[in-house]
Chain A
Amino acid sequence: MSNYEKVTEEIQEIASKLLKEDEVDKIIGFGKGLFSKEVTPIFVSREEDVNRLLFSPEAEMSLAKYLLNYKDQKVAIVAKPCDSRAIASYLSEDLIKRENVKIIGINGCPGIEDNTACQECDIRNPVIFDYTVGEEMSDEEIQAEIAGFKDEIEEMSPKEKMEYFRNEFERCTRCYACREACYVCYCEQCFTESNQPDWVGDSVKLNDNITYHLMRAMHMAGRCVNCGACEMACPEGIDVRALAAKMVRAADEIFDYKAGVDPEQKTLLSEYDVNDREKGFMD
């Protein structure tokens, strides 16, 4: 699609301007990988290298997590709308400084190939940015993009749901690619490696696999931006996003809360409202 090429050009233009004027030390962006269509994160610090930056339908990873490695440096980052939400979350959690980051936001994100998260994504323009590339998408266009989305798991009976997740997580090898790809998972020690308390066994057993994914989803509640990086990273093709995506929809439905739309907002579970709904409580 020519859209991607145009965005690529605009990114390169802004990147070379930023480096020329010495506003940033480094630009975190997408670049060509080793194999034909593969895209990999690249870090550009010389002006002559900016033509290596690109945006394509395969730019699937979330780059926001790299910001945590360069907290004290001035960096620019190429951000899809979901990445911009991740950056807004980091800002709201005081993990990075706004003045150290220049955000090149991609307007009107056309979606990433094979990423099922894009089918239900209703934030297609960056929520926070210094520069934008591409054309903004209107609300009507966004609604048209997500019109076909339906959550099939929601309609199953408890038995079918359990069966579905057993079939999925049976294949999990606990490689933690989902965790490494996820912008929320920045804990220095993950609960799964903790042995006091020993929350969950870390060998590959079905009950422990499901427990691990449930616990991870619970950590995602109110923080996941539904970017789909976990699912894209999974080497077994497991529907890892399903549980976290449910948390995203539940937060929106019950508490009218969307993660990472405002750098000032608190995370869902770190505040309360005295009039919160008690959905699912005993009466």
Chain B
Amino acid sequence: MSETQEFEPKIATFLCTWCSYAAADLAGSSRIQYPPNIRVMRVPCTGRMDPFLIIKAFNEGADGILVSGCHPGDCHFLDGNLYARRRFVMLNELLQYAGVEKERLNFTWCSASEGKRFAGVVEKAVNRVKKVGPWEGFDGQGFSREEGELVREQL
């Protein structure tokens, strides 16, 4: 990354296929603009998400994460997101305690009809991560910023 260029974070984004992924789709088909910093992974339900996925994302160089699922009570599988909610609260506490800035951790809910809200959430998450700057990795060594070189070369 050259000095003149603004820092563009890469945000590992986990979207529930039933709500938030559809919201992203809606945002796209309604031509709502949002920053291109998110890298979307579609999950069957936020309840399926192992917290390890998030820890691993940080270990492999994501500057931040964004997780979005159905609103509590609206889960396609009835209560998947309610289990997920507890897990994310605990993970959030853990990562903040270990020294990951709270701005890098973005958890929210978006329903399938909230395309506009989804765009807003992404914008907000990107601004939050931009504020704290590039993620240095757990070992403080930093990561290559070239596109397509997200994963650090293994020795």
**Interface set of A (CB-CB < 8 Å, partner B):** 153-154, 158-166, 191, 199-201, 205-208, 210-211, 214-215, 217-218, 221-222, 242-243, 246-247, 250-251, 254-255, 268-270, 272, 274, 276-282
Segment among B8-16, B17-25, B35-43, B79-87 that sits at the interface with chain A: B79-87
Instruction: Say which residue of B56, B87, B139 sits within 8 Å of A166 (CB atoms).
Output: B139
Q: B82 to chain A: which residues have CB within 8 Å?
A: 272, 274, 276
Chain A nearest CB from B116 CB (Å) reads 16
B124 contacts A165, CB within 8 Å? no
Q: B105 to chain A: which residues have CB within 8 Å?
A: 280
Most buried by A among B56, B93, B99, B106: B99
Considering the complex, which residues of chain B in the window 64-92 have a beta carbon less than 8 Å from any beta carbon of chain A?
A: 72-73, 79, 82-83, 85-92
User: Is B1 interfacial (CB-CB < 8 Å)?
Assistant: no
Given A165-B98, A210-B139, A243-B94, verify A282-B121 contact (CB < 8 Å): yes
A279 contacts B92, CB within 8 Å? yes
B86 contacts A269, CB within 8 Å? yes
User: Is B28 interfacial (CB-CB < 8 Å)?
Assistant: no
User: Is B26 interfacial (CB-CB < 8 Å)?
Assistant: no
A247 contacts B59, CB within 8 Å? no
Chain B nearest CB from A242 CB (Å) reads 8
Most buried by B among A161, A200, A214: A214
Q: Which chain B residue shows the least CB distance to A162?
A: B99
Q: A162 to chain B: which residues have CB within 8 Å?
A: 98-100, 138, 140
Q: How many A-B residue pairs have CB under 8 A?
A: 126
Chain A nearest CB from B151 CB (Å) reads 12
Q: Which chain A residue shows the least CB distance to B132?
A: A158
Instruction: Say which residue of B73, B99, B107, B108 sits within 8 Å of A161 (CB atoms).
Output: B99
Q: Closest 9 interchain pairs by CB?
A: A162-B99, A161-B99, A206-B139, A210-B138, A207-B139, A280-B92, A272-B82, A250-B93, A207-B138
Considering the complex, which residues of chain B in the window 81-139 have a beta carbon less than 8 Å from any beta carbon of chain A?
A: 82-83, 85-102, 105-108, 121, 124-125, 137-139
Q: B96 to chain A: which residues have CB within 8 Å?
A: 158, 280
Q: B100 to chain A: which residues have CB within 8 Å?
A: 158, 162
Chain B nearest CB from A158 CB (Å) reads 5
Instruction: Say which residue of A214, A277, A279 sits within 8 Å of B95 (CB atoms).
Output: A214
Given A246-B94, A254-B89, verify A272-B79 contact (CB < 8 Å): yes
Q: A201 to chain B: which residues have CB within 8 Å?
A: 154
Chain A nearest CB from B145 CB (Å) reads 17
A247 contacts B99, CB within 8 Å? no
A211 contacts B59, CB within 8 Å? yes
Q: A222 to chain B: which residues have CB within 8 Å?
A: 90
B138 contacts A206, CB within 8 Å? yes
A200 contacts B56, CB within 8 Å? yes
Q: A246 to chain B: which residues have CB within 8 Å?
A: 93-94, 97
Chain B nearest CB from A239 CB (Å) reads 12
Chain A nearest CB from B38 CB (Å) reads 14
Q: A272 to chain B: which residues have CB within 8 Å?
A: 79, 82-83, 85-86
Chain B nearest CB from A106 CB (Å) reads 30
Cα A208 to Cα B56 in complex, Å, equals: 10
Instruction: Say which residue of B73, B85, B141 sits within 8 Å of A207 (CB atoms).
Output: B141
Q: Can you identify 10 A-B contacts, CB atoms within 8 angstroms?
A: A165-B99, A166-B140, A214-B98, A221-B94, A247-B94, A269-B87, A274-B82, A276-B86, A276-B89, A281-B88
Instruction: Say which residue of A164, A199, A270 sits within 8 Å of B52 (CB atoms).
Output: A199
Q: Which chain A residue shows the least CB distance to B105?
A: A280
Chain A nearest CB from B89 CB (Å) reads 5
